[in-house]
Structure 1
Amino acid sequence: MTSIDMTAPTVNLVRNGEVAKARDPLPRLLAQLIERAGASVTVERAASRPWASALFQGRRHVIALKLAGPDAAERRAAFVEGIGEAEWNLAGHFVADISIDDSSPVPGGGEWIELSALTIEDW
């Protein structure tokens, strides 16, 4: 299982170009999800684990985001809208499935989004 601590800026999620093409596309996927969510987003949880079928191999990801700010509800709606058809740039992988598992207001302000994604190695 891979976890990501989001204390580093998003520019540090993906380093060394082609070296980052390695096994886990989670950092690159997180960077794109953060960009999609806009300002004032916190990655509360991000984990991935290996996944395989008879013909493919990849990784299953579980991600929880918290949006803050006065426009959090609008940003959550925009984030959720069309996420299944969104294009993702993951060198060496592609997103085979992505879905919103839960999406709700946070008591005290903000919005909560939980999602899952399946990435497959592209060979």
Structure 2
Amino acid sequence: MTSMDIVRRLDNLVPNEAKRIGSRDPLPRLLAQLVARAGEPVTVERATSRPWASALFEGRRHVVALRLTGVDARERRVRFDAGLEEAEWTLPGHFVADISIDEQRSTPQDEWIELSALTIEDW
């Protein structure tokens, strides 16, 4: 499993990732917005993206695991969850067609959120 300390590298996440993959993958921008919604301190423990298509649409399926730490981690997780499916996301060239929490768990030190999202290319 790969871990990324998003707190120290947020300024570098979106530009470098977009250049590296050379595609229109909206995952870096989605991650930045998910991290902002979760609040600090948060770590992206896993983030994957793969192509997705139907007869009419093309997009990407994303799976993200976040670890929230700090004394207010539980409250931040509850706020993160509230209204997630109705939240507005800014992803140039894409829109979020579906986003849902797959699993949540608590440990004495942190809160975990695992979620899935489907982004569709906005032609």
TM-score, length-normalised on structure 2? 0.88
User: Residue deviations 1:75-104, cap 9 Å, x none?
Assistant: 000001100000000000000000000112
CA 5–70 in structure 1, closer or farther in 2 if over 3 Å, else same: closer
* Structure 1 runs, 4 residues or longer, greater than 4 Å off: 18-21
Structural mapping, 1:68-107, within 5 Å = 68-106=69-107
User: Counterpart of 2:63?
Assistant: 62
Instruction: Check whether the contact 1:96–1:120 (CA below 8 A) recurs between aligned residues.
Output: yes
Instruction: Check whether the contact 2:3–2:43 (CA below 8 A) recurs between aligned residues.
Output: no
Question: Which residue identity does 2:115 align to in structure 1?
Answer: L
In the comparison of the two structures, how many residue pairs are matched? 119
Unaligned ranges ≥5, structure 2: none
Name the SS of the counterpart of 1:14 in structure 2. Answer: helix
How far residue 15 of structure 1 moved from its aligned partner, in angstroms, is 1.7
How far residue 13 of structure 1 moved from its aligned partner, in angstroms, is 1.6
Question: Which residue identity does 1:109 align to in structure 2?
Answer: Q
Q: Is 1:42 aligned with 2:60?
A: no
Structural mapping, 1:100-119, within 5 Å = 100-106=101-107, 108-119=108-119
User: Counterpart of 2:14?
Assistant: 14
Question: Which residue identity does 1:113 align to in structure 2?
Answer: I
Identity of aligned residues (%): 66
Unaligned ranges ≥5, structure 1: none
**Quick check: which one's helix share is greater?**
2
User: Residue deviations 1:8-60, cap 9 Å, x none?
Assistant: 611112228x9799421000000000000001100010001000000000000
